[in-house]
């Protein structure tokens, strides 16, 4: 074995070792970051923050809560439900959400009498609440019922989003179209053409 081959071998071993250590470190940080999560809602409308009523309802239910949604696979409502339930999960770790496709499990679907739109069951201490429409208001009310707290007085209003109106004149819209669809692309194309021409000339 020549000296150069030996040095190369040593360098390659050192490289492999450093890479392995780095990748292991990446995996460890990834695993830790998935288990210890910090969140902050930066939306102006606070649309990702639970209202105080919902937080109080969760505090009244110390035992595990099981939410089962009987909704067909591939429906976008599934991700909307998990997004909403994730906000509650953030405050309560022993809350579980699972999905069941009623088409694939007809006997289960029949037993719980689900309609075509799907249904959501909330189970707490062997008691069950049924929901056919889910939003923060209805979910929190079900939690309050399960906690034997009067839910009549609670009414969580959906968050008001900013920018519900757009007041642009026809001229302003035409100007936006003109600049975005014509002026800017033309400018880029002309510059590209000039560069191409210069390279060709060179």
Partner 1 sequence: MMIFTIAIQEFKSHFKTPLAWVLFAVLQIILSYLYLTQVETFDLMQANLVGIDGAPGLTDIVVTPLFSNAAIILLLVTPLLTMRVISEERRNKTLPLLLAAPLSDTDIILGKYLGTLALLWLIVILIALMPLSLLIGGDLDMGKYLANVLAITLLVGAFTSTGLFMSTLVDHPTVAAIGTFGILLILWLFNISKTMSDQPNELLEYLSLLNHFQNIQTGLLSTNDILYFILFVAFFIVSSIYCLANYRSQK
Question: Measured between alpha carbons, how far is 129 from 67 in angstroms, rounded to an integer?
Answer: 10
Question: Smallest distance from the beta carbon of 34 to partner 1, in angstroms?
Answer: 5
Determine if 24 is a binding residue for partner 1 (CB under 8 A): no
How many residues of this chain interact with partner 1, rule: CB under 8 A?
68
62 vs 185 by CB, closer to partner 1: 185
Determine if 162 is a binding residue for partner 1 (CB under 8 A): yes
Strand order in the sheet with 65-70: 95-100, 65-70, 119-124, 127-131
Count other C-beta atoms under 10 Å from residue 182's C-beta: 10
Options 11-19, 58-66, 118-126, 139-147: segment touching partner 1 (CB under 8 A)? 11-19
Question: Smallest distance from the beta carbon of 133 to partner 1, in angstroms?
Answer: 13
Pairing of strands 127-131, 95-100: unpaired
122 vs 146 by CB, closer to partner 1: 122
CA 182 to chain centre: 36
> Under a CB-based contact definition with an 8 Å cutoff, are residues 87 and 114 in contact?
no
Determine if 94 is a binding residue for partner 1 (CB under 8 A): no
Q: What are the φ/ψ torsions at residue 102 (nearest 5 degrees)?
A: -65, -25
Provide CB contacts within 8 A for 116, sequence distance 6+.
none
Tell me which residues touch partner 1 (CB under 8 A): 8, 11-12, 15-16, 19, 22-23, 26, 29-30, 33-34, 36-45, 47-48, 73-76, 78-79, 82-83, 98-101, 135, 157-169, 172-173, 176-177, 180-181, 184-186, 188-189, 191-193, 195-196, 199
């Amino acid at each position: 074995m020549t000296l150069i081959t030996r040095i190369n071998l040593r360098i390659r071993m050192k490289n492999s070792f450093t890479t392995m250590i780095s990748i292991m470190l990446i995996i460890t940080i990834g695993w830790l970051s998935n288990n210890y999560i910090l969140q902050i809602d930066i939306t102006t409308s606070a649309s990702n923050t639970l209202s105080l009523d919902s937080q109080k309802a969760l505090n009244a239910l110390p035992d595990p809560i099981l939410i089962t949604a009987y909704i067909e696979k591939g429906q976008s409502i599934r991700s909307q439900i998990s997004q909403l339930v994730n906000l509650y999960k953030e405050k309560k770790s022993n809350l579980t959400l699972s999905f069941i496709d009623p088409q694939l499990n007809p006997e289960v679907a029949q037993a719980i009498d689900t309609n075509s739109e799907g249904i959501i069951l909330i189970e707490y201490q062997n008691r069950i609440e049924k929901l056919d429409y889910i939003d923060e208001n209805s979910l929190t009310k079900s939690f309050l019922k399960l906690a034997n707290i009067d839910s009549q007085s609670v009414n969580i209003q959906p968050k008001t989003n900013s920018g519900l109106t757009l007041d642009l004149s026809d001229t302003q819209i035409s100007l936006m179209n003109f600049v975005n669809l014509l002026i800017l692309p033309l400018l880029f194309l002309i510059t590209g053409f000039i560069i191409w021409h210069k390279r060709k000339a060179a």
